Each structure stands twice: as C-alpha cells, then as structure tokens.
Amino acid sequence: MTHIEKPLSINDLTAMKQRGEKITCLTAYDASFSALIDKAGIDMMLVGDSLGMTIQGHGSTLPVTIADMVYHTRCVSHARQRAFVVADLPFMAYATTALATENAAKLMQQGGAQMVKLEGARFEIVSFLVGQGVPVCGHLGLLPQSINQLGAYSVQGKEPAAADKMMEEALGLQQAGVALLVLECVPAPLATAISGQLQIPVIGIGAGLGCDGQVLVLQDMLNIGIGKRPRFAKDFMQGADSVEAAIRAYHLAVKQSLFPTAEHSF
C-alpha cells in the first residue's frame, strides 16, 4: 500500500517559526514541477501571478486572470502530497470584499489552494476573508501588481518613514488575521525586525537572511527565466547535475541559513 503523506498546514509552518526552523518555498505553476518540488522536500509552494511573466511571457503580472490562477493552482495541488499550497489573488481580483470572497472561493474550491495571497495593507479585505474561514497570506514591500504606481521594480522601505510604515502595516495585517506574510525587496535589517516582531511566519524574497523562510521564483533559481535574473536570486543549477539536485541544494541552503547571503540581500 502506497503511503500518502499528509499536506503541511499553516499550524506546521507556524511551529517551524517557533522552533527556529527555516521554511522553504518555491513558485510552482504545473503538475510536473509541483511533484518534483514536493519530492525534494520544499515546505511550501506559491502559485504566483508571476506566471504572467514566466509562463505567459507578459512584461508584468497585470494580465493574469482569476481563471489563469485557478487553472494553474489546480495543476499544482493535484500533484503535490506534502507541500503547503498558497495561490495569488491576481490584479483587481480583490478590489472589493465581494470580489475577494468570490475569487478566494474559486482558488480554494476549484484550485485546491490552502491559502490565498494578496498584496498591500488591505486590512478590511483580509479581516473579512478570515471571518469567512479563508486563510490569508499578506505581501508587503515591492508589490508587482502596483508596478504602474511604483514606476520601477525597486527596493522598498529604505527611508526611515517608509520603514516605520511597513512595520505598522505588517503589525496591522497580523491583527487583521493574516497567518503568513511575504516581504519582497526589503532591506535586510527591516525584514529581520519585522520577522522578530510578528508571531506569524515571514517569508522573504530579496529581504535578507533574518526572515523565517525564503521563496524564489522557480525559473530564476534554475536560471531558465526569459528575463534578467534578479540580484536576490541565486542560480542553483550551477554545479547541480539535475533540476531535482538544484532544488534540493536550495532547500538545504535555506534550512542551514546559507542562503540568502549579503550578495543576494539589500
């Protein structure tokens, strides 16, 4: 009889933070990579709207639809056994509480997501979703869905006022009910301070070693992306004899606090 491993829960990830074990996460968009990432022992998979660039070839995440997200989330969730699955609510899919509720339901009921992620300090939306039983992951720092407002993909929270605001927003999101927080392109000292203040796990991408875990876009860490690899992403295929070996090397590097280094931090 084949042993089917029980998927990790948010309680498992929270316990990892409490005991000081780093959480590993990679993006996933299809069944084949989902199974491989899962086999390599990665704790969490993010079905990111980054698929707009990596899979669809767009210049940003903005064209991605909720139908796209449901489809790719379903592909990923069908193939995994252990990893915790989080799915992005795409651009304008949570503009109101009604829209957020409808689209979160699609990602969970049709896509099989265990948690949905949204960008920004959307306290009211978060609180409402959590009240309906929807686990929510927050996202602060660089917000790709706001690229036309930001003007460029750049580090956020460098100035003292901006850093104070981000800390305030992180605490506010925790109070609103998020059970997980992603910090993207944030100075390492600020990300470390936020991770220390929050009781929920904080996952960094370009946010230094002090976060409770790390996430990278799969295509970036395998060096197969169509654009320039971000500074914070390391090529784990270098020196690896297979894709699985590269994923295992990333997993081990994060677990042992060997990644990210200062070279991959701000």
What Rg do the C-alpha atoms of the chain give, in angstroms?
Answer: 17
Q: Which residues of 155-179 are buried (b: 16+ CB within 10 A; e: fewer)?
A: bbbeeeeebeebbebbeebbebbbb
Name all domains of the chain by residue range, CATH numbers in brackets.
10-264 (3.20.20.60)
Nearest to 83 by CA among 133, 129, 23, 32: 23
Handedness of CA 114, 116, 122, 124 (dihedral sign): negative
Q: Is the pLDDT of residue 184 over 70?
A: yes
User: Does 184 qualify as catalytic in the annotation?
Assistant: yes
Rounded to whole angstroms, the Cα distance separating 25 from 97 reads: 28
Q: How confident is the model at residue 5 (pLDDT cuts 50, 70, 90)?
A: confident
Q: How confident is the model at residue 4 (pLDDT cuts 50, 70, 90)?
A: low
Lowest-pLDDT choice from 1-5, 166-170, 232-236: 1-5
Q: How confident is the model at residue 1 (pLDDT cuts 50, 70, 90)?
A: very low
pLDDT in tens, 63-72: 999 999 999 9
Q: What percent of the chain has pLDDT over 70?
A: 98
pLDDT in tens, 188-231: 999 999 999 999 999 999 999 999 999 999 999 999 998 889 99
Q: How far is CA 120 from the centre of its chain?
A: 14
Task: Answer whether the bond into residue 260 is a cis peptide, omega within 30°.
Answer: yes
Handedness of CA 238, 239, 244, 246 (dihedral sign): negative
Rounded to whole angstroms, the Cα distance separating 205 from 156 reads: 12
**H/E stretch holding 125:** helix 123-131
- Cross-strand bridge partners of residue 45: 26, 85
**Residue showing tokens 């600020």:** 190
> Does the predicted model carry a pTM greater than 0.95?
yes
Active-site pick, 159, 168, 184, 244: 184
Q: Is the pLDDT of residue 166 over 70?
A: yes
Give the mean pLDDT of the chain: 96
Query: Averaged over 109-114, what is the pLDDT?
Result: 98
Rounded to whole angstroms, the Cα distance separating 26 from 226 reads: 18
Task: Give the pLDDT score at 151.
Answer: 87
Rounded to whole angstroms, the Cα distance separating 138 from 135 reads: 10
More confident residue, 182 or 227: 182
Rounded to whole angstroms, the Cα distance separating 35 from 17 reads: 25
Q: Is the pLDDT of residue 236 over 90?
A: yes
Query: Averaged over 96-117, what is the pLDDT?
Result: 98
Task: Give the pLDDT score at 3.
Answer: 54
